[in-house]
Structures are given as structure tokens and as C-alpha cells.
Chains A and B, each alone.
Chain A
Amino acid sequence: MRQDSHFSRFQQGRRTWFKRIQKLGLMAIGVWFSPVTVFAKPEDAARAIQAITGGKPLINGKVNLAIPTLIENGNLVVLKVSVESPMTENDYVKAIHVIAEGNPLPNIFTAYLTPRSGTANLTTRVRLADSQTVWAIAQMSNGSFYQGRAETLVTLSACIESV
């Protein structure tokens, strides 16, 4: 009987705590929707992108980056990039860079294409350390840069290996 009342007190404490977290959660979501946070890139990722573009402007569009929105395990995530381009001698995608904001090292890979590639479609499998935004930057033959992004949620296994 004593155990019962202790348990329900514990439950009540948790309920209050949960309500507070809910409020905090709503606030956090509000912040997320503000214009500044939507386009902010964590510093390392921003620096990596800067190194790629050399300061040139990034144009939104042409780049489609597809990652599953909910990931069961971040160790092996299928990632597809496709860039709209005629892929001719005069107009093709020279390189595609993939940058992950939430990984310890933002650069994931760079692919170099040629007019012989036919398409600028690529698939690979990447590691995502945490829920995050992933960017794909396409470097065009005329020197311009286009960008696309994908948001994803990464969950962890319930039963882990080591104690």
C-alpha cells in the first residue's frame, strides 16, 4: 500500500514536469518557425560550404535531395540527389557536394560528373549522427552554385549493444 502512494506521487511529479516540457516544446517549435532559424546553418557546415563556393552566391533550386524523413538507424541511410541539367558539353553539373549540419564532420561526399554522365542523379548510403538538415550543393559548368536540402529525424535503437 505504501508503495502505491509513493508511485502515484512520482506519477504526479512527472505529470507536472511533462506539462512544463510541453510548454517548452511549443516554444521551441515557435522558434523553429521563425525566419532566422529556418535558414541558419551551423558554423562548421557553413564554413565547409563557404570553402566549396568560395563566397559565390547559392541559388535555391534545381537540386533535389531525398532522404527518408524518419530514420530507424542513422548508420546507413539511403540518400538520393538529382540535379536538373541538360548534361551537355555546354551545360552540365560539374560536382555535387553533400554537407550534413549535424555530423562531426560536415562533408559527407563529393561526386564529380562529366557531360558523359547522362544524368546528375546519384544514390549513396550515408551516416547521420543525429536529426538534422542535410544540404546538397551543385556546382555547374558555368561556375554557378545551386542548393537543395532535406530535413530528417534520426531515432536510436531501443536495445543497444554494450552495457
Chain B
Amino acid sequence: MMKLQFLLAYCLIFSTSLVLSATDAHQKKLQSSYDLMSNENKAMQDDPSLNPAMFWLGDGETLWNQPSAKNNQSCSSCHGDAKKSMRGTATVFPKMIKGKLQTLESQINQCRVNLQGNPALAYESKELLSLTAWVAYQSKGIPIAVKKTLENKVALQKGRQSFYERIGQLNLSCAQCHEDRAGLKLGGSTIPQGHPNAYPIYRLEWQTLGSLQRRLRNCMSGVRAQQYEYGSPEMAQLELFLAWRARGLPLESPGVRP
């Protein structure tokens, strides 16, 4: 009897691990949530004369060239023309830099505070969104290239754990919707795979431009969970896992989403 139970348990574990590896998003064909949008919204994203996010790009370009009050340094003082120096940059973020996991926003703040003597920009502030959008825009069309490295291994694993962990009053994990049920309906909307390839986005729900962290907080409040704080290590780790999971998808920043 004991031997049979042992055998059954072994089979169950073996098949479960097979199922788990099969549901890794990279086995499934990666799909951007752009494909799920209506034609009108797709046109809004693609046409610069229709995309409201263009205004933030204008602000971002201005801020990029604006010298700081303290030491007269602007982003362009070190990085020159963003169109050249920032090409491809957004595709490798989040990234381990000097032992710390940086997202695009946190790295922008790092530069501004330490090298320009500027105060840090608040998350979701117009300035930080504009700069992030401007930098990300320079990589538009380039595939996400976040790789698993020795340096980011621990952070990536933590991010993966967050993604598969059930949270909140509704006791749901990210994976339960965006892996297992991607393509099915939740209410009137089709569940997307949940890739971060268009951020920052002009979200129609927000009626303004917003970051990936804002969207993740929305998901968490959606399942009635305690939201990760803006700029927290947990957020960065989850962003890292999401970017790695979406590797190969071209960036659409700044995107439009419903």
C-alpha cells in the first residue's frame, strides 16, 4: 500500500513539473496586447498625430536638454543626443548596475540626484513619466533583450516567485490569469499575456500617461492585495521577471492601452 502511494505521489510530482514547464510563457507564442485592441485604439498608438503620449515625449525631450540648477548638467551633457545614445537602452532594463537592481525610472533618478544635483522625481510625476517615455521611445521597435545573468539571478528568481504567488483577498496569482487564462475573457475584456513591452502607456482608463508600476499596482488592487510600493525592490524584481518573460517582443513605447 505504501509503495503504491509513493509511486502515485512520484507520478503526480513528475507530471506537475511537466505541466509547469509547459505553461512557461516562452513555450507559448509571445503576443503583445496590441493585438487585442480595437482598430481605433491601434491607430491611436501608431499615428503620432493621434497619440496623446506624444505630448509627454515633447516634455521628455525638453527635460533631457535642461541643465540642472546646481551644476548646469543636463542628461545631454553626458549622453549627448538621446536618439543615438539611448537607442536600445530601454530593452535591457531592469538591470543590475553596481550591485543594485535599477528600473529605467530609478536609474533616471539616480543620474539626476547623483550627477546633476537635482531632487529625485516622484513616481508618476509628469517629469519622470516624460523622461522615461523619451528614453523608452528611442528603443521603439527593438526587441526586449533582458537576459538571465549571474548578477540578476537572485532578483529574477524573486520576481518569478512574485508572479506565481497567490495574493490578496481574491487569492489569485499573476500566472493564473496571464499564463493559464491568457486569451480567455474576464468581463468584457480578453485577458492579455501581461507583457511590459509598451510602457509607459497612455491608458484610456487613466486618461493620462502612466508607468508599468502603476499598472501593476492596479492589478494588485484588482485582487484586493496589499500593493507593492513605487520604487520598491519587489517592484523592480517583478519588472525584471516580466521583462525577461517578454524577451524578444519589440518595444512599442509609448503605447496606448484601454
Give A residues with C-beta under 8 Å from B: 68, 70-73, 75-78, 155-163
Which residues of chain A are near B41, meaning CB under 8 Å? Answer: 72
- Min Cβ gap A35→B in Å is 30
A73 is contacted by which of B43, B186, B191, B205 (Cβ under 8 Å)? B205
- Min Cβ gap B131→A in Å is 23
8 A–B pairs (Cβ distance < 8 Å), ordered by A: A70-B188, A71-B38, A76-B204, A78-B44, A155-B187, A155-B189, A158-B189, A163-B224
In Å, the complex CA distance between A78 and B224 comes to: 33
Which residues of chain A are near B43, meaning CB under 8 Å? Answer: 78
For the A-B complex with A75-B207, A161-B218 known, give 4 more contacts whose Cβ atoms are closer than 8 Å.
Answer: A68-B40, A75-B205, A157-B258, A159-B222
In Å, the complex CA distance between A73 and B207 comes to: 10
Query: Which of A71, A156, A160, A161 has most chain B Cβ within 10 Å?
Result: A161
B219 is contacted by which of A72, A75, A159 (Cβ under 8 Å)? A159
The interface residues of chain A, by DSSP majority, are classed as loop
B188 is contacted by which of A68, A72, A159, A160 (Cβ under 8 Å)? A72
Query: Which bracket fits the contact residues of B?
Result: 20 to 34
- Min Cβ gap B47→A in Å is 11
- In the complex, B221 has a CB within 8 A of chain A: yes
Residues of B167-226 contacting chain A, CB below 8 A: 186-189, 191, 204-207, 218-219, 221-222, 224
A161 is contacted by which of B189, B191, B206, B224 (Cβ under 8 Å)? B206
Which residues of chain A are near B189, meaning CB under 8 Å? Answer: 72, 155, 157-158
- Min Cβ gap A156→B in Å is 7
- Min Cβ gap A67→B in Å is 9
Question: Is A157 touching B205 in the complex (CB atoms < 8 A)?
Answer: yes
- In the complex, B37 has a CB within 8 A of chain A: yes
Give B residues with C-beta under 8 Å from A: 37-38, 40-41, 43-44, 186-189, 191, 204-207, 218-219, 221-222, 224, 258
Which residues of chain B are near A161, meaning CB under 8 Å? Answer: 205-206, 218, 221
Question: Is A73 touching B221 in the complex (CB atoms < 8 A)?
Answer: no
Question: Is A160 touching B222 in the complex (CB atoms < 8 A)?
Answer: yes
Report if A73-B258 is in contact (Cβ < 8 Å); known contacts: A156-B187, A160-B218, A160-B221.
Answer: yes
Residue in chain A with minimal CB distance to B206: A161
Which residues of chain B are near A78, meaning CB under 8 Å? Answer: 40, 43-44
In Å, the complex CA distance between A70 and B185 comes to: 15
In Å, the complex CA distance between A160 and B219 comes to: 8
Residue in chain B with minimal CB distance to A163: B221
B222 is contacted by which of A72, A75, A158 (Cβ under 8 Å)? A158
In Å, the complex CA distance between A70 and B206 comes to: 19
In Å, the complex CA distance between A71 and B219 comes to: 21
Which residues of chain A are near B258, meaning CB under 8 Å? Answer: 72-73, 157
Which residues of chain B are near A155, meaning CB under 8 Å? Answer: 187-189
In Å, the complex CA distance between A73 and B40 comes to: 12
In Å, the complex CA distance between A163 and B227 comes to: 10
- Min Cβ gap A82→B in Å is 16
- Min Cβ gap A76→B in Å is 5
Report if A75-B204 is in contact (Cβ < 8 Å); known contacts: A68-B40, A155-B189, A156-B188.
Answer: yes
